[in-house]
Amino acid sequence: MEDTAYPAIAYGSLLSLYHELDLATILLLEKAIVHRSLRNYFQSLAIFDALPTSATCKTAVVLEHTWTLIAQYRFREGRCIAERGLSALRSNAVGNNGHGPIILLRALLAGLDTLIDGSTRRCFESLQEIYGWLSGVPTVEFTDVQVWAVNLYYYLPTLLSTAAGSPPFRDIPSVPANSPSSGITLLRKHLQRTGRLNEALFLLETEMALLPNKDAEIEAMESVRSACIEPSTQPLTYIEGSVALKLALLYAELGDDEGYREEMFNAAAALSIPKASEFSSNLLRTDTWLARLELARAGGQGPGAEAWEGFADYAAKLGDYRIEAKALTEALESMINPESEEAEDVSPENRERLRERLDELYSRLGSSFHRSVTRRRVSGERNQQQPHKQGVSKGVVMYGQQSALRSLQT
């Protein structure tokens, strides 16, 4: 398309698809992505809603719009956007030009089907389709669209832990027999070496659920941060700040007060320097609050249901429904934990009120998957897996699903 250009610093990770867009649309799309990255969901979605009709079915716009709704846990709306985009792409595809994006949109829809109504058939089909498409591609040849597909290839099995059987799940890219790393780790490191840091950070969100221990998680995050070297067309301060927040949360979960404080200082230093004066960072404020709650828990000082519900109220005002659901679940779990010291929070009436609020939230967002997982977590039985230690810094990877993902690899 004529007049197409790229921003000096790009937050998006699908630049190969920007050729379909004019400059004005690219700049608006980038602005929406910045707001999503900072968890300013209302501002991000307002931009998508205001885009001209001619742009709304372009592949990059559809994918980023869908991903924003998924990040906010608005699954039904995300499915509508993805279905509309897939229909438009199929109508306009010539030869193999739309092959990769079509596979990617089908995989997104497969995951959304599982999240919304528990259907798993399309997830299994998408795993097989992605493997057939990418299994022979050398690491150095992966495009940005294929990187997104790899991310979904490792994510979709987390939704299949209760499904009968398992798909043919092998590493993409292929891994040498003596390598201790998974395909997603090898690809993330390659992206770092070649300066594709937005994509490396994108993979890191899912990769974290595959790593065997906290030391491996710290190593992966430090590896991404160490690759933030000028000059670059990537948003280095945002990447550094995002990684620092993840590390701060991890150290808080471990009860490492010194590590938490150091990384929170690093995060604030990076994320307090906005791209433009109109941007603020709900990301920094929300994760700071969450890290303080995790640090208190690691120190054996609560927090109780009241503290978690207050955090949920805050997240709800921001439209951060993923964090709201996380906080409400933690509030309920604190009530059934016999070690809880907040007896005033654990009355049957209060417990039922929170259950109803969480159930209503998932009904409104359209996620039978989360509703069923959460019901098991807050059924009144002691949770032996301690899922809170996995935090919410893993992007959209669901609590308690890491073992399922590993089992599908064997």
Separation of alpha carbons 375 and 141, rounded Å: 43
Which residue has tokens 């109109």?
278
Task: Give one DSSP letter per residue of 89-125, joined into a string.
Answer: HHHH--TTTTHHHHHHHHHHHHHHHHHHH---HHHHH
Separation of alpha carbons 284 and 47, rounded Å: 22
Residue 399 has pLDDT above 70, yes or no: no
Residue 338 has pLDDT above 80, yes or no: no
Separation of alpha carbons 64 and 153, rounded Å: 18
The two tokens of residue 216 are 């491996």
Separation of alpha carbons 248 and 295, rounded Å: 10
pLDDT in tens, 99-145: 899 999 999 999 999 999 888 889 989 999 999 999 889 999 999 99
The two tokens of residue 206 are 């899912």
Task: Say which amino acid occupies 180.
Answer: P
3-class SS at 229? coil
What is the model's pLDDT at position 322?
95
Residue 349 has pLDDT above 70, yes or no: yes
pTM assigned to the model: 0.87
User: Which among 12, 6, 394, 24 has a CA at the least distance from the CA of 207?
Assistant: 394
What is the model's pLDDT at position 98?
65
Which residue has tokens 């001619």?
54
- Percent helix, strand, coil in the chain, to 5, is 70, 0, 30
pLDDT in tens, 173-227: 888 767 777 899 999 999 999 999 999 999 999 999 889 899 999 999 999 999 9
- pLDDT class for 277, splitting at 50, 70, 90? very low
- Do the beta carbons of residue 325 and residue 374 sit within 8 Å? yes
What is the model's pLDDT at position 395?
33
Report the C-alpha dihedral over residues 242, 246, 252, 254, rounded to 10 degrees.
-160
CA dihedral sign, ordered 136, 139, 141, 147: positive
Burial 85-101 (b: 16+ CB within 10 A, else e): bbebbeeeeeeeebebb
What is the model's pLDDT at position 118?
87
Helix 99-117 vs helix 144-155: angle between axes, to the nearest 10 degrees? 30
Residue 299 has pLDDT above 70, yes or no: yes
- Do the beta carbons of residue 118 and residue 372 sit within 8 Å? yes
- Do the beta carbons of residue 47 and residue 56 sit within 8 Å? no
